[in-house]
Amino acid sequence: MDDLILMELELELKVLRKQIAKLEKENKELKSIVVENDLDDELGIERLITPEEEICILGIEQILEAVKNKIADKNDISNYDILHKNLRMIRGFSTESKKKTKKADVKDLLKIVEGRNNG
């Protein structure tokens, strides 16, 4: 009788572990959606910031303050770009601002202009 109860408990434990793993995965996905869409403040969630992220934010704030006070120079603007790109990378966003496109062939462009692209 004790073996039967033990087996039932082990099966229940196994099921609970699977449920926990599923919920942890779902929780991670939902957190990433909140972070990607910058909804932390709206949802009242205090987001943990890494030291690297905090350095970028503080640097950006200092540069923005210098710009407001009209004491920023080219070096500040360059540093702003670097900090902004790093912050986007830390947060998991793409740093590419333009999509790469394939250069069109002149013959294809002429066909489009002449309206012969349909066949």
93-103 residue pLDDT tens = 765 655 556 66
pLDDT digits (tens, 9 = 90+) for 1-51: 688 889 999 999 999 999 999 999 998 888 778 777 777 666 666 667 788
In a domain, 113, yes or no: no
Q: How many domains does the chain have?
A: 2
Q: What number of CA atoms fall less than 13 Å from residue 90's CA on the CB side? A: 16
* Percent helix / strand / coil, the chain, rounded to 5: 70, 0, 30
* Cα separation, 56 vs 79, whole angstroms: 10
The arithmetic mean of pLDDT across residues 60-64, rounded, is: 93
Q: Give the Cα-Cα-Cα angle 50, 92, 103 (nearest 5 degrees).
A: 150
Q: Are residue 25 and residue 59 in the same domain, yes or no?
A: no
User: Taking 70 as the threshold, does the pLDDT of residue 104 lie above it?
Assistant: no
Distances in Å between the Cα of 89 and the Cα atoms of 43, 53, 84, 95 are: 23, 10, 9, 7
pTM score: 0.45
Q: Is residue 36 part of a domain?
A: yes
Q: What residue numbers bound the domain in which 21 lies?
A: 1-48
The confidence band for 90, taking pLDDT boundaries of 50, 70 and 90, is confident
Q: How far apart are CA 76 and CA 50, in angstroms?
A: 23
Q: Is residue 101 part of a domain?
A: no
Whether 70 is in a domain gets the answer yes
